[in-house]
Amino acid sequence: MSQKFAEIYSQFKHQKVCGIYLMHRPALLVCDPDMIRDVLVKDFTHFHDRRIVVDEELDPLTAHLFSLSGQRWKQLRTKLTPTFTSGKMKMMFPVLTKCGEQLRALVAEHVAIGDAVEVKDIVARYTTDVIASCAFGVHCHCLVNPDAEFRAWGRKIFHDSSLGGVKRLLFFALPSLAFRLKLRVFPKDVSDYFRLMVRDTVEYREENLVERNDFMQLLIDLKNHGNVKGDETNKTSKASEKGKWLSPTPVGM
């Protein structure tokens, strides 16, 4: 599907927009960079809705900013925006540095013995270590152990199959039908694994008064206090009550 969009864009890239069909529904494909910037940034508040229909009870992991719409999306974005400030991102830099040192050590080992290196695999393991440490607050040591449990479950999310392709097509082209058929984006066992991991991490930190400079800690602060430490001016309750939009940033489709 992405390849088809790329082909259409290449064909009409000198036009501002072009008309396409998403199965049976007409749509516009924006090609002009200035117009794209207007849609994603300047006039973003008018283009935030998605065509994806999600069932939070059946498939809770789908309830994220890239799929939610309307008031539900607005409330979640208002809450999460303070967690992505430059200061909060810099706070996590030591975690990336530590994972980077492990990556350098692993590459040095391969260089020392003159071994061939599968760069894609090593970078994927490094990225998984960073995500696990920053987002989930766990050390999965994928660079040391390529078959680490966290990585195995993470790869299941991107496991492709013929049935998965049909489901993605339905979610994109006929979202209402996919909703009525109770189709899941993520397999239930994968969803249960990551939800349990987050729940256990939150419970352990709260019971043992553990704090780390990672994204998980920001979410815990947000859950317990309604705002992120150091961002008192961005209290979510006030923003929600007044119905204010924060400065728009591109977040997806």
Residue with tokens 């979202």: 175
> What is the identity of the amino acid at 79?
K
Compute the half-sphere exposure of residue 145: CA atoms within 13 Å on the CB side of its CA.
Answer: 9
Residue 157 scores a pLDDT above 50 = yes
Residues in the chain: 253
Residue 235 scores a pLDDT above 70 = no
- Output the six-digit token pair for 15: 């036009």
pLDDT tens-digit series, residues 59-76 = 888 888 888 888 888 888
pLDDT tens-digit series, residues 1-40 = 678 888 998 999 889 999 988 777 888 899 999 999 998 8
Average per-residue pLDDT for the chain: 82
Residue 245 scores a pLDDT above 80 = no
- Give the pLDDT band (50/70/90) at residue 100: very high
Distance CA 149, CA 247 (A): 39
Which DSSP category does 60 fall into? G
- Output the six-digit token pair for 158: 């991107």
Helices 93-112/119-135 angle, 10° precision: 150
pLDDT value of position 244: 38
The pTM (predicted TM-score) of the whole model is: 0.71
Distance CA 142, CA 133 (A): 11
Distance CA 126, CA 171 (A): 31
pLDDT tens-digit series, residues 198-218 = 999 999 999 999 888 888 989
